[in-house]
Amino acid sequence: DVKVTQSSRYLVKRTGEKVFLECVQDMDHENMFWYRQDPGLGLRLIYFSYDVKMKEKGDIPEGYSVSREKKERFSLILESASTNQTSMYLCASRLTSRGGYEQYFGPGTRLTVT
Amino acid sequence: GDSVTQMEGPVTLSEEAFLTINCTYTATGYPSLFWYVQYPGEGLQLLLKATKADDKGSNKGFEATYRKETTSFHLEKGSVQVSDSAVYFCALSANTGFQKLVFGTGTRLLVSP
């Protein structure tokens, strides 16, 4: 079974802190994704990565950056956390963009910024 | 751009009732369509999918048919169980390019005994 793990289930940070959210997948997937999930808005794509060291902005990249130095790990970075970044963050991975493969999701990190 | 619209929730049903959750989409070309489910405290998992018009996806008693003429992909189940209580997301992806997923806002289903 594909497993996508996220470093924390719950996280509380203060405004202005630099925050790292880590995601690891164990199936040698090429593609990885970061979403945020907010009530009434569904899932919105923050950043995605085609492959190692490759990254692309999604629909709401402002205030975020990412890093993918190894194929299995995709990190989301909040450079200076703000209260409007309080949300549920979901990581996903996919084998490849060719062929209609599904995305596999991690359990999510609920981040609260105070 | 591409978009997905699904019915507002929560949908509240008694056990063994019939379920329909409506989903319509707007897209250029012929996207693939998905239903994902999120159980409490968990991430999303794929429930079913359909990749072309008139395809029917099915899994765990749930079904959805890709209707190109009405741009719809409604989720149905004949007899729901308490364990089906979850949030259901309709999504699409283009069949060209990077094939990003575009999600609807989600519909919460609450099933009571």
Q: What secondary structure does DSSP assign to B44-103, as a single string?
A: EEEEEEE-STT-EEEETTEEEE-BTTTTB--EEESS--GGG-EEEEEEEE-SSTT--EEE
Residues 6+ apart with CB under 8 A from A84: none
Q: What gap in Å lies between CA A20 and CA A32, rounded to an integer?
A: 16
Q: Cβ contact (<8 Å) for B44 and A97? A: no
Q: What is the pLDDT of residue B22?
A: 97
Q: Which residues of B touch A31 (CB under 8 A)?
A: 98
pLDDT digits (tens, 9 = 90+) for A19-71: 999 999 999 999 999 999 998 888 999 999 998 999 999 999 999 999 999 99
Q: What is the pLDDT of residue A110?
A: 96
Name the stretches of chain B with pLDDT < 50: none
From the list B41, B44, B49, the residue facing A90 with the nearest CB is B44
In single-letter form, the type of residue at position A95 comes to L
Q: Which residues of B touch A44 (CB under 8 A)?
A: 103
**pLDDT reading at A3 higher than 80:** yes
Token pair of B96 as six digits: 């060209």
Interface test with B, best of A105, A109, A110 (most B CBs within 10 A): A105
Strand partners, A19: A78
Distance (Å) of CA A26 to CA A104, B10, B37: 11, 35, 22
Q: What is the pLDDT of residue A96?
A: 84
Token pair of A60 as six digits: 């709401």
Hey, is B36 helix, strand or coil?
strand
Q: What gap in Å lies between CA B29 and CA A72, rounded to an integer?
A: 33
Q: What is the pLDDT of residue A92?
A: 95
Q: What is the pLDDT of residue A5?
A: 95
Q: Cβ contact (<8 Å) for B44 and A43? A: yes
Q: What is the pLDDT of residue A43?
A: 92
Q: Cβ contact (<8 Å) for B49 and A97? A: no
Q: Cβ contact (<8 Å) for B97 and A97? A: yes
Token pair of B17 as six digits: 């009732």
